[in-house]
Amino acid sequence: LVNKAGDKVPQEDFSVQVSDVQSDEEPQSSLEQTQPVKEGETMIYSSGPDGKSAHFKVNYGLKMRPDSKGGSYSAQIGYSLSMN
C-alpha cells in the first residue's frame, strides 16, 4: 500500500488470510494463518487432488500505527486461476 506522496505501509502491517473454506475435499494448501502481503505472487489456496470447487473468503488486514501518515493509500491486487 502506498499513497500519492510515496509513503508505504510497512509490509508487516498489511496482511492476508483465507477463511471459511467450503469444499467437498481437503485443500492441498490454504493460507489459514495471517501473513504479510508481499510483492509478487503468493498462492493463497490450492484445491484438493480431485480439483473440486471451493468457496472461501480472502481477508485483508491493515494495522495503522500512531506515527502512520494519514491519506489515501492504494495497491493493485490481482487473482489468477491455474489448472494443473
CB atoms closer than 10 angstroms to residue 15 = 16
Instruction: Concatenate the DSSP letters of all residues of 45-67 into one string.
Output: EE--TT---EEEEEEEEE---TT
What lies within 8 Å, CB to CB, of 82 at 6+ separation is none
**What confidence tier does 84 reach under pLDDT thresholds 50, 70, 90?**
low
Across the range 8-14, mean pLDDT stands at: 93
pLDDT in tens, 19-58: 999 999 999 999 999 999 998 999 999 999 998 999 999 9
- Rounded to a whole number of angstroms, the distance between the first and last alpha carbons of the chain is 31
pLDDT of residue 66: 92
